[in-house]
Amino acid sequence: MTSTPVRKPALAVLGKRNLELGPFTRGDAQQESGPWAHWRVRTDEDGIVWLLFDKKDASANTLSEPVLAELNDIIERLERDAPRGVVIRSAKASGFIAGADIAQFRGVTDVAELETQLSRGHAVLDRLDRLPTVTIAVIHGYCLGGGLELALACDYRIAVDDASFGFPEVLLGLHPGLGGTVRLPRLINPVAAMTMMLTGRTERARRLRLVDAVTQERHVRGAVRAAVDGELHGSKQDFVGTLLNTKPARQLLARRMASEAARRAPRAHYPAPYALIDLWVEHGGDADAMQQAEIASFAKLLVGDTAQNLVRVFFLRENLKKLAGGDWQARRVHVVGAGIMGGDIAAWCAWQGLLVTLADTNRNAIGGAIKRAAELYGKIGRDNRRRVRDALDRLIPDLKGDGAANADLVIEAVPENLDLKRKIFAAVEPRMKPGAILASNTSSIPLEALREKLARPQRFLGIHFFNPVSRMQLVEVVGHDQVAPEVLAEACAFLGRIDRLPAPVKSAPGFLVNRALTPYLLEALVMLDAGMKKEAIDKAAKDFGMPMGPIELADEVGLDVCLHVAETLRGSLHREMPEAPQWLRDKVAKGELGKKSGKGLYDWKDGRAVKSHEDAAPPADTADRLILPMLDACVTCLRERVVADEAVLDGAMIFATGFAPFRGGPLHYARTRGIADVRAALERLAAQYGPRFTPDPGWDSLS
Ligand code: NAD
């Protein structure tokens, strides 16, 4: 039975009982005892028992079966001899609990076994919920997923200033599975609860009604005593909340929630939000039934393809993060070229705490870049005016380029022209500190050509950002024949420092991402040329799971940029590739460049493509014609060792192009569908549409 205590979400800031720092604040291990590997237990002089969670051999706390088994053991002892109060808090500086240990979700197939495990977890939290004493979760840093579910099973939640809360399960194709779907809608307004679980958004404590008090670290003990003494007042779910939890209200609200979910992703690709809505509508009025249904629904989702692939994506990201794991202590970056890319790279680096000088021969370009930076900071730093001001202070206009002399990293982002870039290097390199790194943001010039006249080619490489820099997480780190391995590692660490994911690639035409995207975009143009509706082409790609169709993407990227990349690739690859049609060149010549000019393949209004044939149906082979050439290019990149392995390749394609995450990446999709099947489909397309579909020989070694 899940009896959830409902309390008033009073956001009191406790300052009155100004007590000294007690021995139980985080990280303090004095006089703690117990036979447990992950928990330390101690009773303070007020008779309050503190359970300090400190997961063994881990930098962050996550929930796992052994952790919950130990907690169960501790609760069992507390039941026998109930203290005045019980506090659960983390001993890790990083935060309370980051959620469940995701590694245990990998490769799960046995629904019955999973349901049994989940029931065991539920039993522990129910036991905590029923403990006949006041229970308090004291939370600092993050409190996510299973961690929040544990906190919800306590009577009170006291947040330390910096705490943030969320249910990110939906991002893994799941919903909460340890009673969160039962407890949260009973504690706070159910619409707010459902929104939190459906979006996976993380919120600060002060915004949340599920927290009973927000305080500062030095007042934690005072807040705990107040809770134990019954001075922290809570009240029941309010009238509106209760009303919204009735069946007719749930049914009405669920329709709106489902159509909102459908706008974001279809049920067939992302079933979790719909499963959560169904759970609430069906069982929202009965906690016991909801709990059982939550277990069954979670287990069904977790063994499904979507959740397993999204769990895979989680680890693909971890894999890329690991590559960025080195220590980058340096602080100064100098950017040459304040255009679309250079301006935005500089802005992003300054936002992430680096000191940035921004050079350009054109004063207006620097002014424009700083204006764009202010707009960006205004959007992403709404809550933090001080951070916005500091970031703008760190972004320094540098018309003379003097910043190069002090920089640890110089990034060149002038127009794509070999002679111009070489001229810049000749002027900048002699001014640089000997240990500094020189990088180019080139998208198509071979690094071997760029490094030719450098004095220190070993400290030069490509750092290829994508547009828009603030939204594209992936950055290609491009090597060449003379680069020092430690320079590649330093560049990856720099990207980790600015919260980007590095994908190391070899200098080859289009590197990885543009090489794979170009055949996809060109095939869409061939279809357009043959009279197919652009909306139908985009629909086929979106139905496959791409975040946007290739026609819309070409407009987003800019038709001039697409044309340039396509022509460079056509000229440098020994492979059949469609030629960009003349009408595309004409459009570019007329300045119809896509979103940025308001007109391209679509007309653009208020930042959105105007689509007039939304319901146009694509022919059955459209998705294969678009996606399989992309897969084929990925296989070429693997065969040519442009990228080291399938994990980096799949991660790079997902985080740079949004390749249908629920399919786990292009190579994973090919393997799931069957290598032989994909190759046979390519051969059929080659027979019907031409040799550009001929499968790469690299497929042989994948079989
Ligand atoms: P851009 O034309 O918007 O900006 C280039 C800037 O360089 C301009 O402000 C120009 O005034 C400045 N510049 C020209 N000569 C200079 C000089 N001698 N010294 C200092 N500044 C000078 O170009 P962009 O789109 O930002 O592209 C820059 C680089 O990034 C190119 O190599 C391009 O291939 C690459 N890139 C572009 C994109 C994209 O989507 N635009 C994406 C990835 C990589």
> Does pLDDT of 554 surpass 60?
yes
> Does pLDDT of 34 surpass 80?
no
> Domain spanning 7-303 has what CATH number?
3.90.226.10
Structure confidence at residue 8 (pLDDT): 31
Residue 3's pLDDT band (boundaries 50, 70, 90)? very low
For 647-667, what is each residue's pLDDT tens digit? 999 999 999 999 999 999 999
Residue 316 in contact with residue 654, Cβ under 8 Å? yes
In short, whether 443's Cβ falls inside 6 Å of ligand 1 is yes
Structure confidence at residue 241 (pLDDT): 85
Of 274, 269, 280, 277, the residue nearest 307 (C-alpha): 269
Give me the DSSP letters along 179-191.
Answer: SHHHHHHHHS-HH
Superfamily of domain 336-499 in CATH is NAD(P)-binding Rossmann-like Domain (3.40.50.720)
Hey, how many other C-beta atoms are within 10 angstroms of the C-beta on 192?
Answer: 17
Give me the DSSP letters along 442-494.
Answer: -SSS-HHHHTTT-S-GGGEEEEE--SSTTT--EEEEE--TT--HHHHHHHHHH
In short, whether 656's Cβ falls inside 6 Å of ligand 1 is no
Q: What is the mean pLDDT of residues 628-651?
A: 97
Whose alpha carbon is nearest atom 43 of ligand 1?
Answer: 466
Is there a common fold for 7-303 and 513-701?
A: no
User: Pairing relation of β-strands 213-215 and 332-336?
Assistant: unpaired
Look at the block and give the residue holding tokens 């997480």.
Answer: 473
Whose alpha carbon is nearest atom 15 of ligand 1?
Answer: 414
Compute the distance between CA of residue 478 and CA of residue 475 in angstroms, rounded to an integer. 9
Compute the distance between CA of residue 542 and CA of residue 68 in angstroms, rounded to an integer. 41
Residue 540's pLDDT band (boundaries 50, 70, 90)? very high
For 360-401, what is each residue's pLDDT tens digit? 999 999 999 999 999 999 999 987 899 999 999 999 999 999
Structure confidence at residue 4 (pLDDT): 36
Mutate to test the pocket of ligand 1, among 335, 341, 476, 569 (most ligand atoms within 8 A of CB): 341
Hey, how many other C-beta atoms are within 10 angstroms of the C-beta on 69?
Answer: 14
Lowest mean pLDDT among 87-96, 240-249, 335-344, 533-542: 240-249
Q: What is the mean pLDDT of residues 5-30?
A: 35
Residue 236's pLDDT band (boundaries 50, 70, 90)? low
Structure confidence at residue 20 (pLDDT): 29
For 199-235, what is each residue's pLDDT tens digit? 999 988 777 788 999 999 999 999 999 999 999 875 5
Active-site residue 579, yes or no? no
Ligand 1 atom closest to the Cα of residue 444 is 34
Paired tokens of 176: 């909460």
> Does pLDDT of 14 surpass 80?
no
CA–CA distance from 7 to each of 151, 154, 208, 210, 288 (Å)? 13, 11, 13, 9, 20
Who contacts 654 (Cβ-Cβ below 8 Å, separation ≥6)?
313, 316, 661, 665
Whose alpha carbon is nearest atom 4 of ligand 1?
Answer: 339
**CATH fold label, 513-701:** N-(1-d-carboxylethyl)-l-norvaline Dehydrogenase; domain 2 (1.10.1040)
Residue 703's pLDDT band (boundaries 50, 70, 90)? confident
Ligand 1 atom closest to the Cα of residue 557 is 40
For 417-440, what is each residue's pLDDT tens digit? 999 999 999 999 999 999 999 999
Rounded (10°) CA dihedral 201, 202, 204, 207:
30
Host H or E run for residue 310:
helix 305-323
Whose alpha carbon is nearest atom 8 of ligand 1?
Answer: 339
Q: Where are the domains of the chain?
A: 7-303, 336-499, 513-701
For 335-361, what is each residue's pLDDT tens digit? 999 999 999 999 999 999 999 999 999
Q: What is the mean pLDDT of residues 388-416?
A: 97
CA of 421 to the centre of ligand 1 (A): 10
Whose alpha carbon is nearest atom 17 of ligand 1?
Answer: 361
For 36-72, what is each residue's pLDDT tens digit? 999 999 999 999 999 999 999 999 999 999 999 999 9
CA of 412 to the centre of ligand 1 (A): 8
Compute the distance between CA of residue 167 and CA of residue 201 in angstroms, rounded to an integer. 7
Dihedral class, residue 34 (left if φ above 0, else alpha if ψ from -120 to 50, else beta): left
Compute the distance between CA of residue 432 and CA of residue 419 in angstroms, rounded to an integer. 20
In short, whether 414's Cβ falls inside 6 Å of ligand 1 is yes
Q: What is the mean pLDDT of residues 189-195?
A: 93
Q: Is the pTM of this model over 0.85?
A: yes
In short, whether 417's Cβ falls inside 6 Å of ligand 1 is no
CA–CA distance from 246 to each of 177, 240, 523 (Å)? 22, 10, 52
Q: What sign for the dihedral angle of Cα 534, 537, 542, 546?
A: negative
The angle, 0 to 180 degrees and rounded to 10, between the axes of the packed helices 622-639 and 513-529 is 150
For 148-186, what is each residue's pLDDT tens digit? 999 999 999 999 988 999 999 999 999 999 999 999 999
Residue 27's pLDDT band (boundaries 50, 70, 90)? very low
Structure confidence at residue 32 (pLDDT): 53
The CA-based diameter of the chain, rounded to the nearest angstrom, is: 83
> Does pLDDT of 193 surpass 90?
yes
> Does pLDDT of 123 surpass 70?
yes
Active-site residue 169, yes or no? yes
Paired tokens of 69: 């088994």
For 482-511, what is each residue's pLDDT tens digit? 999 999 999 999 999 999 999 999 999 999
Residue 33's pLDDT band (boundaries 50, 70, 90)? low
CA of 336 to the centre of ligand 1 (A): 9
Structure confidence at residue 326 (pLDDT): 84
> Does pLDDT of 100 surpass 70?
yes
Paired tokens of 196: 């939190």
